[in-house]
Each structure stands twice: as structure tokens, then as C-alpha cells.
Structure 1
Amino acid sequence: MPVSLFSSSIHSPLFADDDLARLFDDASDVAHMVQVERALAIAEGSLEIIPADAAHAIAETLQNLRIEPADLAEGTRSAGVPVPALVSELRKQVGGAAANWIHWGATSQDIIDTAMILQVKVALGLQSARLEKLIDTLERQSERFATRLMAGRTRSQVSTPITLGYRIAQWAHPLIDAEAALPELRRTVLRVQFGGASGVNAAIAPAGPAVAEALARELDLAAGPSWHVNRTPVLAVAAWLQQVSAGLAKMAGDLILLGRSEIAELSSGTGGGSSTMPQKANPVQSETILALNRIVIAAQAGLASAGSPLEERDGSVWPLEWHFLPQMMIAVGTALTHAQMLAETLVANETGLDGTLDAHPELMAETASFVLARHGVPRAEAKKLVGDAATGSSPFLESLKSALDLDVDWDQELSLQSAIAPASEMSKQIFARRPRR
């Protein structure tokens, strides 16, 4: 079995995303830590915390510097983090007196956490673009199928008629909420971490806040107090990723159910063949989204366990973030790509949809009970009369007509078409919550 579905040469084409996998690989980790060290030197040089010529030499040397991740392995095994080995290598590369000013006033966590936030910033940009595209596609499909009636289902049983357009709008609903949450998420998360050994910048006091501000400007992040033991940024990202993943899983799960052989109301995706049954087209993309959602759930639990570090730094939980956050990012990015394909290839099986509606005239039972109530039949009695008609041996409509002598145009009152207007209105309300660009 693979160590990870995201790095397996067999499984990664299905479960992984190349762009996000590269963003969180070893080379990217090192490159972003070097970027932070370089920005720190520039920031401190601009404030005359370190000599300007040293800052210039560090910035010039580190600008296009590439450090092999393997060169940091032994130092990481010894120190528990790669930064001491990285700083040693950077000092060799810069050389001279300037080398002494690298990493001035910083600690390993400042470099690792800020580098992670830079990676998260790029990842959120990728996720945001994919999310926007998917919601756009779902909105178009919702409008396309705005009048296509189908059976609603609650707790696995047919309930009342809805439209396919409304069902699609409900797939988009949690994704629209996630899209709307992104600006606040970025404000919460995209912040530098700079606190020194114990978080109070004692080594360079009282210049710590000024350095943090300058470092934030250099990296295009926000500044603020040290958050080295306040893991709200990581937990907030994880919660947002879970929100997106849950929404995608809702869509995928519905498509699996509606594509079942005995239901066959919708189809989407490319389908996957069976090793022995030539007639099958397995819902591979939908199944993969559900599998990825379960990975996201497990990873979020791992991150939650890292959310309460002890004292001023806790080496036993900090590595959990390095392990689980990339998994969540890759899983959600891949799921968004699969969901996009499902949304684009969605096909309504008219025969299957109409067959379900025809087979269940009791879909209008709720409406029938309210019609009776409006004509003076007590609610409890109306419910019983409709229930008897729905479960009796005679056709539903005939049973209703014979149960009571009422002046009711049952054909008009129980027309399935009456569901279209409220379903369309609700769909419009859902998509109206999106800020228009």
C-alpha cells in the first residue's frame, strides 16, 4: 500500500493535485523559508537593526538561492526542525561579516510559521479560483434545469416535488458560504509570525513590533502580535477547508444516489469500468470526492489535536500541522477539480426523472392535506385522509375525490407544476447571496 495517496505514482493522478503538491513539497518549504529569511534581513536593514550593507549582501545572495532539501535532513533529525541547518547553510552561502546578521532576533518558529502562511496564501488563491469557477458552473446548470421537475427526497424517501435546478442550487449553497467567508479568512490567517525565542522579541526589544511591521510589508502579509501558541490561523484554514469539502461531498453523494441503476435520474463524470462487469460505469469522480472528504475529516481532527500547544512552544504537536494541513489543502483542491468535471458533464435522464414522478403520485400528499384544511377539514383528519389515500389500493387521486364531497379541482391543486415557482425563487435567493463581481 502507498505511504500516501498524494505521492503515490499509482494513485496520485486520481487523488492528488500537481500544483498544490508542488506548493507543499520539500523544495517549496525550503524556498519559502529562504524567502522569509531574506525578507527579514531587508526589513531589519531598513530599520537599521542590522547594517545596511549586511542586509544588502544577504538579500542579493538569497534572492535566487536554491538549497537542496536533503542537505537539511541530518540537521533536522538533530534539532527537530530544519531551520538551524538552513541558517547554517545560508551563512556559508553569504559568507563574511554579513553572515552573522542572518536570522537576527528570529527563532525557528518565526521562519517556519511565516513560510507556511506564504504557502497558504498561494493555496487559498488556487482554491478560490476553482471554487468560483465551480459555483459559476452550478449557477448556469441550475438555470438550465430551473423547470425540470424531480422527486424530492427526505430521509431516503420520496417527499415532495422539487426541481433539478433547486437541487443544484443547494449543492452550491455551502460553497457560496465558503466563498463569502474567504475575505475574513484571509484577514485572520495571512499574518507574519515574529516573536523570537519565547514570543516577546526580547533579543531585539523594543524593536520587535517595528520589525514585524516591516517584515509584513516585505512579504505582503499583515502584522500583529506573535501567534506562536495561538493556532487560530491554522485552525481557521482547516475549518474553511472542511466547509468546502463537506459541500462537495454533499454534491457527490447525491450524484451517486441519483445515478444508481434502479434510480437512474442523473449521470455525470467520465465513469469507470469494472474489471469483470462490462456493463458498469462506476461513479469514480464522486466516489473520490467522498474519499477525499473523509481524509479531510481525519486530517482536521489531527490539526485540532495540535491546537493546544504547551507553554511557549510544543515540539510534540507542532509537526502535526506540517503533516495534516498539506493533506487537507491537496484533498480539497483535487475534490474541487473533480467536482468541476461533474458539474460540467451533468446529464438529466428524462425517462428516469419522469418515471419516478409517475410512480409516486403521493408526492403531492402534503399539498392535498393543506387543501383539505383550507376547506374546513381539521388538520389531523386531513392528514389521516391523505395518508389513507396515499397507502390504499386505489389510485391516490381517485381516493381523495371519493373520500369527501368537496368542490375542489384536484387536478389543478395537485399539479406538479406548482412546485416550479417556489423552487425557482429559492434557487434565486441562494445565488443572490453571492457578491457580484
Structure 2
Amino acid sequence: MCAHITDSVLYRHLWGTDETHALLDDGPRVQRWLDILAALAAAQAEVGLMPDDAARAIADHADVALLDLDDVAAETRACGHSTLGLIRCLRRVLPEPAREWVYYGATVQDLTDTWTALVLRDVGALVARELADIEQAARTLAQQHRDTVMPGRTHGQPGLPITFGFKAAVWAAELGRHRARLTEGRRRWEVAQLGGALGTMEFWGDAALPLLDAFARRVGLAAPDVPWLTARDGVAEFVNLLALITATLGKIGQEVYALQRPEIGELAEPVTTGQVGSITMPHKRNPELSEHLVTLARLVRSDASVAVEAMVVEHERDGRAWKTEWAIVPEVCLYSHTALRLAHTLLDGLRADPDRMRANVDAHGGYLVSEPVMRALAARIGKHAAHEVIYEASLAGRERGVDLRTALLADSRVTAHLKADDIDRCLDPEAALGAARSFVDRVAGEA
């Protein structure tokens, strides 16, 4: 039995990955907490705050296999404190001389915030890896379909021809910017926490600052300029970056979702053998990947707003703020890594139909290239006057049910300035792509 879908035996594959569960589940979480406590003890011994024997004993017993997590949970419920249950159970397995030294002067946030920073570091590495692969997949699509003409759409309606490579290049460039944001932001959220009761490190006296540096070094994080008990901006920034990343993935998913409708038929996501779309309509092939990308992105954006709310903190410690992160950080990490994996699968196996794309352009009878005609006419009579003429000619042509060429040749205001050959050149979709191909080359050529 489970209360959260991320832990469901049936459905957890849709909401998390093995790699993120290996960081966030109870066993790995407690082990990482024990590792942090061992690093703290070693750092305290290094600066003369703790006997070396006590630090070694704590390190030797910092093993989740030595603890009964049910006992830890029972002690936690009994004392009502977030980590005292763990302390009690750990002290029972320690040799007596080391028991008074464990968790020496540290507080809940020193442990849990440092754990959070390590999670952000490790999940950030997973995100960076997946983003690089997805960006490359988008670049590959851009290169492959540099010249694949398709309808460009604005407000959900066909506008001008573009190439599918241009669309994929926009995706690749956006993903690349997220990778840059992730790299640049690491120095702000991969930061250890060690402040003691109020962040002043009073308990450790003159050894406070050397201890902070030693502790940060041992856990593999940067030392903060000042403890961040009430400064939650680093966590909020990371979570909101995941919201940006998954929003891009959701946008890609939504585009694929729409363009693989049979009546459009320009794209098709990969389908695995045995995948069933409906138990009542055997013919159905549902957009499972693209649909779920949109769902995951919505959930991450929802949690991101809570991360920003957690920045509003009262005084020098406020559990109302930082404890919300205990709920949302694991969620967004699970959802985001899952979304990245799905997006990689989607783009790697995405099938474009160039013939259908071109047919969808041609099906509009030349009306998708009204702008080049307007541009040619504008050189003779001015842009706004040309817009009015082509607008009225297009409207009349559609009311008559004829193609744009026929409509233009029937309008003397057009033929007074443009010959049939001029109009034909303007109506060639290949000549109406603007700088689409050049933009593909610029993006696909970037490292």
C-alpha cells in the first residue's frame, strides 16, 4: 500500500526513475544523513572539537543497515522532533564513548539542508546529462529536416510555410539555454549548511569558521558566505529552473500531441510493441509520451510556486517555510527526471512525415504564401495599401472557393503591378521560408 503515486508499485515508473528514487527514498535518505553526520564528526575532529576516536566510531557506525527504520520512525513520532529519533537510534548502536559526540552542536537544518543541497547537486548532474542528450536529439532533427517544408501556425491556424528543422532548432536553442542556466546556477545552490541554533555557529566558538570550511569540503559542497537557514532562494531557484526545463519539455510534448492528430498527421511519436491505446477501441494509438510530458510539467510548475512561497521566512528559523521543501523537492526531482527521460525517448524516436507536411501546405491553395505576394506588391504601392489589396483579394477568393493564384489574377489592383510570373514566384512555398534554413544552420552548428 502507498499513499503517493510516486511510490506505487503499479505506477511509479510514470512518476519517478530508479536513479532519483535511489537518492530520495527513505533508506538512501537516511544513509546520506548518516554520511553527513560522519563528515561533521570528522570535520570537528579535524579542528579539535572532538576526539579522533569518537569521530572514527561515528564514521564506522554511520550505516543504515545497523538501524531499524521502523524504530527510527517510532522514536520520531514519540519525540515529535524531525531528527531526534534518528539520533536516539544511532546512539544505541555507537560505543558508549562516542554517544555524546554524535550530532555535536548541529541542528535539524544543518542536516536536512545539507542533504537538500547534495540532492540538488546529484539531481542537477542527472538533469544536465539528460538535457545534453535531448538537445542533441533536437539538433539532429533540425539538421535532418532543415529543408522539410511544413505549415507554420499562429493562434492555432496555418500562417506561413516554415521547415520542421526550424521548429526543432527553436527547441534545441531553448534546451541549450537551460543547460547554461543549470551550469551557472550551481554555485548558488550546491552549498553546505552549518549554522547551529540560529546560524551564528555560537556553539563551536572560535573553531566555527574553520569547522564550516572543513565540513563543506568533506561533504563535497561549497561553504556559504553566511548560513542560509532563512535564505531559501537557492532551493527556489533550482526548483524553478526545473519548472522552466519541464515547461519546455511540455511545450514540445504539446506540439507533438497536436501534430500527430490523424487529421494533421505531420508527426508520430514512437510506439512500443504491445502498447495498447484503449481497451474498448482496439484501433486507438494514443499519444502517451507527449501527453504525459504535459502532465509532469504542470505538476512541477505547481510545486515551483510553493518553493517561492518558502522564501517568505520569519525571524531566524521558520519551519512553516523550509519544511514545505521536504514535500516538493523530492516531487519535482522525481517528476523532472522522468520528464527528461520521456522527452529523450520521444525525440529519439520521433517520426516526421515530410510528404504530409508538404501536402498540408499545398492543401491551402496558396493562401499560406500571401505575405510574399504582399511584399512584392508593397514595393509598388506601399505596405499598408498592399495589405489591404491582398486581404480583400484573399477574402474574395475564399468566398468563391478558388486558390490564391486565381483570386489574385482576378483582381486588377494586383495585375496592374504584378505579372503572372511574378505571382507564381511569390507563391512558391520554397521561396517563402525567409531565413529558416539559416537559423537551423546557426543552431545546429553550435557546440
Q: Quick check: TM above 0.5?
A: yes
The amino acid that maps onto 1:228 is: L
Provide the residue aligned with 1:326 in structure 2.
330
Give the alignment of 1:260-271 within 5 angstroms: 260-270=261-271
Q: 1:80 to 1:430 in 2, by over 3 A?
A: farther
Match of 2:256 in 1: 255
2:54 and 2:101 in contact (8 A); partners too: yes
Q: State the alpha-carbon separation in 2 of the partners of residues 5 and 370 from structure 1.
A: 55
- Inter-CA distance 77–396: structure 2 relative to 1 (3 Å threshold): same
Structure 1: gaps spanning 5 or more residues: none
| 3-state secondary structure, aligned to 1:161 | strand
Kept in 1: contact 2:131–2:340 (CA 8 A):
yes
Whether the 8 Å CA contact 1:5–1:16 is kept in 2: the answer is no
User: Shift in Å at residue 303 of structure 1?
Assistant: 2.2
Alpha-carbon distance in 1 for matches of 2:22, 2:68: 15
Q: 2:417 aligns with which of 406, 415, 432?
A: 406
Within 5 Å, give how 1:117-132 maps onto structure 2: 117-132=117-132
Alignment of 1:287-326 (within 5 A): 287-326=291-330
Change beyond 3 A, Cα 1:58–1:275: same
Please list the CA deviations of residues 1-30 of structure 1 after superposition, one character each: whole Å capped at 9, or x if unmatched: 973221112222223212212311111211
| Structure 2 residue corresponding to 1:417, chosen from 427, 430, 435 | 430
CA offset digits 1:129-160 (Å, max 9, x no partner): 11111111111111011110000001101111
Separation in 1, partners of 2:172, 2:276: 25
CA distance in 1, matches of 2:182, 2:309: 24
Q: Say yes or no: does 1:105 pair with 2:105.
A: yes
Pick closer, same or farther for the CA change 1:79–1:146 going to 2, 3 Å. Answer: farther
Aligned-partner residue type, residue 337 of structure 1? R
- Conserved in 2, the CA contact under 8 Å of 1:269 and 1:283? no
SS of residue paired to 1:273:
coil
Q: What value does the CA root-mean-square deviation take over the aligned residues?
A: 2.0
Determine which of 391, 396, 406 is the counterpart of 2:404.
396
Distance 1:94 1:241 in 2: 40
Tell me if structure 2 keeps the 8 A contact 1:367–1:414.
Answer: yes
SS across alignment from 2:150 = strand
Q: Does 1:386 align with 2:390?
A: yes
- 8 A contact 2:191–2:221 mirrored in 1: yes
Greater shift, 418-427 or 82-91, is seen at 418-427
Question: Does 2:85 correspond to 1:72?
Answer: no
* Alpha-carbon distance in structure 1 between the residues aligned to 2:230 and 2:64: 32
Q: Name the CA distance, whole Å, in 2 between partners of 1:398 and 1:80.
A: 80
For 1:86 and 1:157, locate their aligned partners in 2 and report how far apart those are by CA, in whole Å. Answer: 59
Contact 1:163 1:419 in 2 (8 A): no
Residues 109-131 of structure 1 deviation map (CA, whole Å, 9 limit, x = unaligned): 10111012112211111111111
* Corresponding letter in the other structure for 1:192: A
Pair 1:401–1:34, CA change in 2 (3 A): same
After TM superposition, give the deviation of residue 272 of structure 1 in Å.
4.3
Q: For residue 213 of structure 1, what is the aligned residue in structure 2? A: 213
Deviation at 1:284, TM superposition (A): 0.6
- The answer on whether the counterparts of 2:161 and 2:368 sit within 8 Å (CA) in structure 1 is yes
Q: Which residue of 371, 377, 380 corresponds with 2:376?
A: 371
Please state if 1:343 is matched with 2:347: yes
Residues 81 and 426 (structure 1), Cα distance of their counterparts in 2 relative to 1, 3 Å cut: farther
CA distance in 2, matches of 1:431, 1:208: 51
TM-score scaled by length of structure 1: 0.94
* % identical aligned pairs: 29
Name the structure 2 match of 1:354.
358
SS at match of 2:384: helix
Counterparts of 1:74 and 1:317, CA distance in 2: 25
**How far apart, CA to CA, are the structure 2 residues paired with 1:164 and 1:317?**
45
TM-score scaled by length of structure 2 = 0.92
Q: Which amino acid aligns with 1:169?
A: A
Q: Which amino acid aligns with 1:317?
A: A
Name which of structure 1's ranges 266-275 and 289-298 shifts more when overlaid on structure 2.
266-275
Q: Does the aligned pair in 1 maintain the 2:189–2:235 contact within 8 Å?
A: yes
Q: Secondary structure at the match of 1:153?
A: strand
Quick one: distance in 1 between partners of 2:104 and 2:209?
A: 14
In structure 1, C-alpha distance between the alignment counterparts of 2:68 and 2:126, rounded to whole Å? 26
Structure 2 counterpart of 1:30, one-letter code: V
Q: Is the 8 A contact 1:73 1:82 kept in 2?
A: no
Tell me how far 1:171 sits from its aligned partner.
2.0
**Aligned 8 A contact 2:243 2:300 in 1:** yes
* SS at 1:235 equivalent: helix
User: How far apart, in 1, do the equivalents of 2:140 and 2:428 lie?
Assistant: 27
* 2:11 corresponding residue in structure 1: 11
Are 2:27 and 2:64, in contact at CA under 8 Å, matched by a contact in 1? no
* TM-fit CA distance, 1:78: 4.2
Stretch deviating more after TM superposition (111-120 or 10-19): 10-19
Does the aligned pair in 1 maintain the 2:374–2:383 contact within 8 Å? yes
Change (3 A) 1:428 1:68: farther
1:175 aligns to 2:175 (yes or no): yes
Instruction: Name the SS for the 2:261 alignment partner.
Output: coil
Instruction: Identify which range, 319-328 or 146-155, moves more after superposition.
Output: 319-328
Whether the 8 Å CA contact 2:377–2:418 is kept in 1: the answer is no
Q: Distance in 2 between matches of 1:352 and 1:2?
A: 46
Pick which of 174-183 and 83-92 moved more.
83-92
